[in-house]
């Protein structure tokens, strides 16, 4: 059976954010499933409509982790319900691609290959210098009073996609299901508020697509840095055996 159709993805339908999903439903290697309604991933929450805010409120989200950089959040602050407003925790991962791409566009030299290389560098940074941000995310996930928790970036594709892959992997979800969740952005995300219209088509196609080799490469790099998945979980993400067991017990049923 196809792993994606067996378990998800479970989209929360909104008008102003097409890539908000419940990470629940995926089956882990021990036979348990990720609990529904505990962790969500999404794109920017800046454009939620009044109807979206009402729907968002039904999710009971207590914590929103914003992985966007300072300029991104300044340009597009999140729009959240005015009652039972979740706490927003900033875990900024400054976008490596944006500034470099602007330089290329100014010189009219940007190609699809250039853009893919920028994305590769960004994913390498997620697995390296930015891994402490994901460690902080896992610390929040370990606090029951913080749940349900939602984490997001601008598109919900790269920074968020890597974070979701780290979490599902830590919970013991098989790699093909992890990848299926990552690639689902290519079908679900409507590319709203994404790029200026003058962006070359080749650049747009690469930048607005989730690419499996980028995810596979970053996950492998994160493990190689520590020598094993177990050491990466413990030393990189703060999940020693006791914390990992507690996380799985809280997130799986």
65 is annotated as an active-site residue: no
Per-residue b or e along 78-101, where b marks 16 or more CB atoms closer than 10 Å to that residue's CB: bbbbeeeebeebebbbebbebebb
CA distance 25 to 177: 11
Taking residue 66's Cβ as centre, other Cβ atoms within 10 Å add up to 22
**Which of 61, 119, 147, 153 is labelled catalytic?**
153
Residues that are catalytic = 153
């Amino acid at each position: 059976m196809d792993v994606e159709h067996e378990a998800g993805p479970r989209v929360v339908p909104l008008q102003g954010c097409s890539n908000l999903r419940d990470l629940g439903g995926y089956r882990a290697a021990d036979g348990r499933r990720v609990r529904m309604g505990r962790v969500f991933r999404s794109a920017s929450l800046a454009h939620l409509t009044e109807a979206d805010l009402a729907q968002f409120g039904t999710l009971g989200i207590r914590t929103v982790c914003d992985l966007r950089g300072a300029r991104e959040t300044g340009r597009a602050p999140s729009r959240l319900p005015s009652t039972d407003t979740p706490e927003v925790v900033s875990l900024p991962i400054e976008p490596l691609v944006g500034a470099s791409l602007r330089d290329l566009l100014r010189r009219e030299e940007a190609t699809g290959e250039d853009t893919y290389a920028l994305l590769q560098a960004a994913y390498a940074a997620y697995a390296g210098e930015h891994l402490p941000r994901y460690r902080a995310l896992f610390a929040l996930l370990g606090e029951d009073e913080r749940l349900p928790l939602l984490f997001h970036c601008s598109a919900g594709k790269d920074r968020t996609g890597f974070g979701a892959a780290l979490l599902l992997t830590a919970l013991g979800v098989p790699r093909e299901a992890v990848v299926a969740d990552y690639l689902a952005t290519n079908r679900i995300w409507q590319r709203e508020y994404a790029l200026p219209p003058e962006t070359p088509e080749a650049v747009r196609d690469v930048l607005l697509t989730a690419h499996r080799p980028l995810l596979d490469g970053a996950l492998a790099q994160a493990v190689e840095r520590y020598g094993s998945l177990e050491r990466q979980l413990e030393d990189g993400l703060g999940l020693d055996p006791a914390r990992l067991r507690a996380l799985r017990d809280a997130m799986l049923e």
